[in-house]
């Protein structure tokens, strides 16, 4: 997770929050060779653990490091050290399959250590909890689950990244808990503050977020400043934009931390949480907020990508409790679409919310406001259904869109690049 370079980084997520985009994951940023090896300042901030924040370690691809000791550690030894932790947090960049593979490895190992386990997920809002419970009980097929949780409306990333996690939960009947709230609620906090929420929304976010932690503020500001912000976000109002984002990020972390504790209390189980690394870095996000309320021990795993031109990257030892080094991927495992849909009352067809700026669609003839008549001959009236269909495509394939623009019917072909020749293996993967 090089926050400056990874297109699915938390920095990009901040941009998505501001733009209101609810589409496919942004494509990886196109950087020059010089930019590719530019140090990421967000990895070496002097914040977090007082005894570790001024110390660094070198993270190499394939290595696992215990931050407290500043030395490499074997995977099995790491899991043994986790035994006393009531909560284990494993971060991710959402479109990194190697990071999700590490999450699965940790999940399996923790289950082997103690099957009295529950899973908490950033990806879904608490409003779909009933569907998650049915999935854990084995009562739903994959298609029923995707439709029940409205995966491609509530989340922006291909289900394939998470499928092994959900399959493991179903196979072992592990309770799975949604930790998030509807995106509209977080957006309202960003724009207008917690006070603007309705009474029903305040039941999901019971209190105004605490924004007083200076280390956490420094982290989010560093990520914000590292982001490639749209030009309309820059200028005199930039500080107002940041304050809104920081308020929403704090609410996000606070509510997910509270829901993590709720899951633990309800089940009486240990909880492993999967969330974007931006919510966990330096143990300052939802992990800190859950600890401040419960004082129960926890461990955090963070993954860091190493550019091919470098043997290692420098990170602060306060970044997380355990740090995995991963070789940087050349391309995401699943094609990036880049289409953002909207629906309107009185109009059956979906409409493009914005002109695609990334993904395969950015190389095709699309414009904001295009009315989608059909995709491969099928007229989709539901955003989730359209995205379920598009998520089935793989590298090297294509689909056709028939659309209406200013009274003229057009047919547009979207082609995906070929797959990378050899995806890198996650650190610690057993062959």
pLDDT digits (tens, 9 = 90+) for 137-189: 999 999 999 999 999 999 989 999 999 999 999 999 999 999 999 999 999 99
CA distances from 190 to 208, 252, 275, 294 (A): 12, 10, 20, 27
Q: Which long-range contacts (CB under 8 A, 24 or more apart) does 26-31 make?
A: 26/336, 26/358, 26/359, 27/336, 27/338, 27/358, 27/359, 27/362, 28/331, 28/332, 29/5, 29/228, 31/5
Residue bearing tokens 């409205």: 150
pLDDT of residue 332: 84
pLDDT of residue 330: 84
pLDDT of residue 6: 40
Centre a 10 Å sphere on the Cβ of residue 103 and count the other Cβ atoms it contains. Answer: 25
Cβ–Cβ under 8 Å, residues 359 and 337: yes
The dihedral through the CA atoms of 270, 276, 281, 287 has a sign that is negative
pLDDT of residue 310: 93
Cβ–Cβ under 8 Å, residues 313 and 40: yes
3-state secondary structure of 61: coil
The dihedral through the CA atoms of 44, 74, 1, 157 has a sign that is negative
How far does the chain reach from its first CA to its final CA, in angstroms?
Answer: 23
Map out the domains of the chain with their CATH numbers: 10-327 (3.40.50.11550), 341-415 (2.30.42.10)
Backbone angles phi, psi at 244, to 5 degrees: -65, -45
Cβ–Cβ under 8 Å, residues 338 and 353: no
pLDDT of residue 225: 86
Pairing status of strand 347-352 against strand 87-92: unpaired
Two tokens at 288? 């800190």
pLDDT of residue 331: 82
pLDDT of residue 155: 95
Mean pLDDT by 10 residues, the chain (431 residues): 44 45 33 56 96 97 97 98 97 96 98 97 98 98 98 96 98 98 94 95 94 97 80 69 94 97 95 97 98 97 95 97 95 90 93 94 96 97 97 93 97 84 39 30
- Give CA–CA dist 19/5, Å, rounded: 20
- Give CA–CA dist 409/309, Å, rounded: 47
- Give CA–CA dist 416/336, Å, rounded: 8
- Give CA–CA dist 54/263, Å, rounded: 35
3-state secondary structure of 77: helix
- Give CA–CA dist 134/144, Å, rounded: 10
Centre a 10 Å sphere on the Cβ of residue 124 and count the other Cβ atoms it contains. Answer: 21
DSSP string, 111-135: HHH-S-EEEEEEEEEGGGHHHHHHH
pLDDT of residue 38: 73
Rounded to the nearest 10°, the torsion over CA 91, 93, 97, 99 is -30
pLDDT of residue 419: 62
């Amino acid at each position: 997770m090089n926050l400056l370079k990874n297109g699915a980084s938390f920095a990009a997520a901040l941009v998505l929050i501001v733009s209101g985009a609810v589409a496919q994951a942004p494509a990886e940023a196109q950087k020059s060779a010089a930019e590719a090896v530019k140090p990421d300042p967000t990895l070496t901030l002097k914040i977090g653990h007082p005894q570790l924040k001024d110390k660094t370690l070198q993270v190499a691809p394939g290595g696992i490091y215990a931050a407290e000791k500043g030395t490499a550690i074997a995977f099995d030894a790491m899991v043994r050290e986790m035994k006393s932790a009531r909560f284990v947090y494993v971060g991710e960049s959402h479109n990194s399959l190697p990071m999700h593979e590490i999450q699965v490895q940790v999940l399996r190992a923790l289950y082997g250590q103690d099957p009295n386990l529950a899973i908490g997920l950033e990806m879904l809002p608490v409003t779909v909890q009933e569907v998650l419970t049915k999935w854990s009980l084995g009562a739903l097929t994959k298609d029923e689950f995707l439709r029940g949780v409205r995966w491609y409306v509530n989340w922006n990333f291909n289900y394939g990244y998470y499928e092994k996690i959900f399959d493991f939960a179903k196979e072992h009947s592990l309770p799975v808990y949604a930790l998030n709230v509807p995106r509209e609620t977080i957006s309202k906090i960003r724009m207008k503050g917690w006070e603007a929420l309705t009474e029903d929304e305040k039941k999901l976010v019971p209190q105004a977020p605490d924004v007083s932690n200076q280390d956490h503020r420094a982290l989010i500001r560093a990520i914000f400043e590292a982001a490639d912000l749209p030009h309309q976000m820059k200028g005199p109002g930039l500080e107002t934009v940041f304050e809104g984002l920081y308020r929403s990020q704090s609410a996000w972390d606070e509510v997910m931390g509270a829901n993590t504790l709720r899951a633990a209390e309800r089940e009486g189980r240990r909880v492993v949480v999967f969330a974007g690394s931006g919510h966990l870095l330096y143990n300052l996000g939802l992990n800190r907020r859950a600890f401040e309320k419960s004082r129960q021990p926890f461990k955090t795993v963070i993954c860091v990508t190493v550019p091919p031109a470098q043997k290692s990257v420098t990170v602060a030892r306060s970044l997380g409790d355990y740090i995995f080094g991963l070789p940087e991927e050349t391309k995401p495992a699943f094609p990036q679409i880049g289409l953002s849909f909207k629906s309107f009352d009185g109009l059956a067809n979906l409409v493009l919310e914005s002109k695609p700026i990334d993904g395969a669609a950015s190389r095709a003839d699309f414009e904001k406001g295009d009315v989608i008549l059909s995709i491969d001959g099928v007229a989709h009236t539901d955003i989730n259904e359209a995205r379920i269909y598009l998520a089935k495509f793989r590298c090297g394939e294509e689909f056709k869109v028939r659309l209406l623009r200013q009274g003229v019917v057009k047919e547009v072909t979207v082609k995906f690049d070929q797959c990378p020749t050899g995806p890198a293996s996650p650190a610690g993967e057993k062959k």
